[in-house]
Amino acid sequence: MATNSIATNSKRGLWGGGAEPLKASYGKLMMWFFLVSDALTFSGFLTAYGMVRYAYPSFDATQPFKFSAEYWPIPEKVFAAAPFITAEAPLVFVGIMTFILILSSVTMVLAVEAGHRGSRVEVEKWMIWTILGGLAFLGCQAWEWIHFIGGTGPESPYLQKGVTYLGASLTQNQYGPPPFADFFFFITGFHGTHVLSGVALNVLIFYNTVMGVYERRGHYEMVEKVGLYWHFVDLVWVFVFTFFYLV
């Protein structure tokens, strides 16, 4: 047995243990694999949205647009409002939301970069900006949901079985077929939950940084791992923005 163990030790290669597979630490690797599974989940949602949308008639573009349960609505007609302005502002608000999330992703990379240099003050500064960006995005989404559920004005009532209906619920909505609102709640809601948990993780990282946990540990890898998650949330939004609001 003794000779055996000596033999393995001398030939200890990649599979001998003690080495980081793919030159990434355990936590980072697991974060990547989690994100792959999460990406497949979101792909499932967005593809299902595409399928249901494709299974409904699209709006006949030669007519002036009107909300109806007969065909799928044009997104820019649905999401045409923004806070503090009464005029039609199609996609303006969601455009602002997209910019906020991209910016908070940028501040997150800057925090990661500061972490590599071990600069605690800079990590703190950029984490605060990232948290604020996340909260701003959540606030915008809350407004968007309230507006979507409440409906847009009495002049566009949705008629179903002789009853007019304003706003949206899971069973009916003024904008289009019921699945339209269902997918809106489900996809943006699931993404919003990701943003919420991302903000919670960012706050945790910020707290630990302030308490000097990572300084004592000697590295700021946790910032990098949570950063991966935060960028993923931004990445998903890029796709939601395209497939829900633009296409």
Q: In angstroms, give the least distance from the CB of 62 to other proteins.
A: 13
Element containing residue 163 per DSSP (H, E): strand 163-165
Q: Is 55 in the site for other proteins (CB under 8 A)?
A: yes
DSSP assigned state of 55: T
Q: Which range touches other proteins (CB under 8 A), out of 11-19, 41-49, 77-85, 167-175?
A: 41-49
Instruction: Report the SS3 class of residue 51.
Output: helix
Q: Left if phi > 0, otherwise alpha if psi is -120 to 50, otherwise beta: which for 23?
A: left
**Residue pair 29/22 in contact by the 8 Å Cβ criterion:** yes
Q: Which is nearer to other proteins, 48 or 196 (CB)?
A: 48
Give the span between the Cα atoms of 65 and 18, in whole angstroms: 64
Q: Which is nearer to other proteins, 12 or 117 (CB)?
A: 117
Residues 117-146 that bind other proteins (CB under 8 A): 117-118
Q: Which range touches other proteins (CB under 8 A), out of 96-104, 154-162, 182-190, 207-215?
A: 96-104
Residue type present at position 242: T
**Residue pair 152/175 in contact by the 8 Å Cβ criterion:** no
Among the listed residues 235, 206, 241, the one whose alpha carbon sits nearest the alpha carbon of residue 132: 206
Residues 5-34 that bind other proteins (CB under 8 A): 22-24, 29, 32-33
Tell me which of 1, 2, 51, 121 binds other proteins, using CB under 8 A: 51
Q: Is 109 in the site for other proteins (CB under 8 A)?
A: yes
Among the listed residues 74, 73, 96, the one whose alpha carbon sits nearest the alpha carbon of residue 85: 96
Residues contributing to the site for other proteins (CB under 8 A):
22-24, 29, 32-33, 35-36, 39-40, 43-44, 47-48, 50-57, 61, 76, 90-91, 95, 98-99, 102-103, 105-106, 108-110, 112-113, 116-118, 224, 227-228, 231-232, 234-235, 238-239, 241-242, 246-247
